[in-house]
Amino acid sequence: MNSFRGVAVSVAAGLLLAVSATIASAATVVKVDLWDKGAAMTMATGLAYGTAGPDMSKATMGIKASPATASAGVVTFKVTNTSKDTIHEMIVMYMADPTVPLPYIDAENRVDEDKAGDKGEVSELDPGKSGSLTVALKPGKYLLICNVPGHFAAGMWTEFEVTK
């Protein structure tokens, strides 16, 4: 009796494993934190992606993605603005050529979203708020950026790679 029950339990456990594996392959979940050192800090400049030799240790704000890679397919970004006083956002930008800087509107101090490879966003999160974005991504190099004026140049971007 006991051994029979044991078999039934392992079959159930096996089924459970199979179900979790299916869910895992359905979508990669990426945890994204939008951070800054507080509004009292003067925003850094000259730290946009593509700037030659940027010293990212000078960044006053940034984006942390975990993991920083995903397999091609559906990706869910769970985004939290950890700032205490500043609105931030996250935009997924596909880079057709990672050696070329993103198109920039100097007068507005932000990336030209219409000309860049915008794949979706969690826009303008208030301090402490969270949001999510689910999007299908093909293999390639991406940037996650915040496009509140000045933030991209202050270092608010991170590289993200989608593998085959």
Q: Toward Cu ion, which CB reaches closer, 28 or 92?
A: 92
When the beta carbons of 28 and 86 are compared against Cu ion, the nearer one is 86
Nearest distance from C-beta of residue 156 to Cu ion, angstroms: 5
The distance of closest approach from Cβ of residue 146 to Cu ion in the complex, given in angstroms and rounded to an integer, is: 3
In the bound state with Cu ion, the residue whose beta carbon lies nearer, of 28 and 122, is 122
Which residue has the CB atom at the shortest distance from Cu ion?
146
- What is the closest distance, in whole angstroms, from the C-beta atom of residue 148 to Cu ion in the complex? 4
Residue 6 CB, shortest distance to Cu ion, in Å, is: 55
Nearer Cβ to Cu ion (73/127) = 127
Which is nearest to 144 in space by CA: 120, 114, 110?
Answer: 120
Residues that bind Cu ion (CB under 5 A): 88, 146, 148, 151, 156
The 3-state secondary structure of the chain reads: CHHHHHHHHHHHHHHHHHHHHHHHHHCEEEEEEEEECCCCCCCCCCCCCCCCCCCHHHCCEEEEEECCEEECEEEEEEEEECCCCCCEEEEEEEECCCCCCCCEEHHHCEECCCCCEEEEEEEEECCCCEEEEEEEECCEEEEEECCCCCCCCCCCEEEEEEEC
**Min dist. Cβ of residue 150 to Cu ion (A):** 8
Residue closer to Cu ion (CB basis): 78 or 140: 78
